[in-house]
Structure 1
Amino acid sequence: MPWNLLIFPLAAAYYVITRSYLFKFRQQRLDRQRLVFESVLIGTFIAFIAFVLRFSLEFIKPELIQQVSKEFPFKQPFTITSLSTVILSWFFVKLSNPLLDKKKYIGKSIKRLGNELEIILKASFDKKKLLQFTLSSGKVYVGWVKELPIPSVSNYVRIIPAISGYRTNETNEILFTSQYLKVYSEYIQEGKIVTLDQLSSDLILDLNCVIGVSFFDLEMYERFNRLRNGE
């Protein structure tokens, strides 16, 4: 294959890596050199498939290959084969993505390459554990992570708030002022909702404003409060 035709397999590989759920969320955490290396590997694999299909057609229907080559405006050898890699990659992404679980592959990429913040967000999302978010403004939110942010696409995290409050400037203690759990409980008892996912109380936090994240145990918090009050 002439060297100038290699641009098509590389473009096909880049499309697969950035669009397919199999690779998309992992490559968003890789540096540029690793992305180029993986594009070359996947491009080589796609080109190999294209050549196998070409030679199979030449064996099964040689007259079809000759007719297409005759009608095709560009006569450089292997131009159609090289161009077909782009078509193959497009069909692969469009057919495979609807069959794949997007959240599953986001989770897999975080498990392999995620930072500390992504790992704790994933743990809250998977195990339905409460997280405590402290913002640079001093505001504090406790809630469940409803949706994992995608790196390089969104720097926000969506949570279902359970409690909110603020840190005092004097003692740096947390004072909770809003209790959402009681309201949620009333909604469930009245039959207005069945699960918390049906609520319209989602809160979106800017991760740039988050200065601290930790797991939150309501029972432990209440015990510390009783000890602090001398009960």
Structure 2
Amino acid sequence: MIQIHPLPAIGDVQPGDDLARMLADAVHAAGITPVTSDVLAVTQKIVSKAEGRFVDLDTVTPGSRARELADVTRKDPRLVELVLAESQNVVRAVPHVLITRHRSGHVMANAGIDRSNIGPGGGERALLLPVDADASAARLREALAAIWPEPPAVLITDSFGRPWRYGVTCVAIGASGMPSLVDRRGDIDRDGRTLEVTQIALGDMIATAAGLATGEGAESVPAALVRGLEWAVADNPASALVRPLEEDLFQ
């Protein structure tokens, strides 16, 4: 049976905090002893906070392209400048919407830059994604291995909108100790047919399940431990979930 354990006992994360220790303390406070088949799902926001990914908007000087897109999208041109700096290219710009391909390959609104729930003084600050979320997950898991002999897998999650559907859902942007993508092509279904295209976005599935516990607003639950999962394939990072640009059918 799959279980989702919310971990609210973390508190407000600040730049330079020992996030692995804070997460371990929250797991202990929940009365849980993790095992290797557990997945510790951690929201991107607290990872970025611990890594000091804040930018003071007053220090940002928008260029001509940012000012042009700000007029189209009706967004703060300083924010648009940050979005461009974090992005490979702009996918779509319309009033109130700016979709880009982040330098990590993820296609997302505002390059994942956030101004909500980032703590005191957040009004003129913005919070960027981790520089490399897979590397962040690996560092967290390595630090947790010093606390527990068998550390859980670590999944860094974020909220994405989806084309052609309302609402956001959680996805994996960083992972360590688990397969983010499970390739079932070549397996046989129950009728004896060979699976030809089936690949399972396991990281995204777990991220969304954990999102039921962490929430999207003022819940103050920045992490959850997911238990009861099984996999029998090699680990791969969350970057394995990113479809290569040459396979983009909607360019």
> Normalised by the shorter chain, which TM-score bucket?
under 0.3
Larger helix fraction of residues: 1
What is the TM-score normalised by the length of structure 2?
A: 0.23
* Greater Rg over alpha carbons, structure: 1
What is the TM-score normalised by the length of structure 1?
A: 0.25
